[in-house]
Amino acid sequence: MSDSGHSLHIDVPVELDEVKVVFSVASLTFEGDMPAVLFHAGIVVADAAAWKVQPDVVVVFHTNAGHVTLDDQTYDTNRHVATGNPYKAVIEGLIAKGAQIELCGATARAMGWGNADLIPGIKINRNAMARLTQLVQQGFVKISEA
């Protein structure tokens, strides 16, 4: 960010009385080295806090993005690295702020992952398509991250 004196004026201010958002994450796009969905979910949670609204934010990882939910050991084995899950702290922070992080059960079955392979606090749903349908029918706004 430059400090050249450019000001920023928000022309379309937004303030919500309710935040019900589900992120569908089948593959990853990045903001620098961070999966964009983690950045975006953080923005939604922070906005809700600024509006003094309890956020109802669910992030559903599935298909080619499921590895983001893995604990360090399983991440290393699955990704053929020895670094641990680089997204673990961000995910733990989102969970601590009230976001619900989920892994698609069909993806978990296909990859041979169980509940013990995940970062603590992550939940496994039946499958992403059923869960996304359920949440949309409950009034959640679906944001697709790809």
Classify residue 129: in a domain, yes or no.
yes
Classify residue 73: in a domain, yes or no.
yes
Q: How far is CA 87 from CA 37, 74, 119, in A?
A: 11, 13, 10
Classify residue 82: in a domain, yes or no.
yes
d(C-alpha 8, C-alpha 85), whole Å: 36
Classify residue 29: in a domain, yes or no.
yes
Helix H segments across the chain?
A: 36-50, 72-79, 88-96, 105-111, 128-137
Classify residue 10: in a domain, yes or no.
no
pLDDT at position 134: 99
Classify residue 75: in a domain, yes or no.
yes
Domain count, the chain: 1
**Which pTM value belongs to this model?**
0.94
Q: Which residues pair with 124 in a beta bridge?
A: 103
Joined together, the tokens standing for residue 34 give 């961070």
Classify residue 70: in a domain, yes or no.
yes
Which range of residues forms the domain containing residue 115?
19-145
Q: Which residues pair with 70 in a beta bridge?
A: 118
d(C-alpha 94, C-alpha 55), whole Å: 11
**Per-residue pLDDT reduced to its tens digit, 95-125:** 999 999 999 999 999 999 999 999 999 999 9
CATH of the domain at 107: 3.40.1260.10
Give the pLDDT band (50/70/90) at residue 78: very high
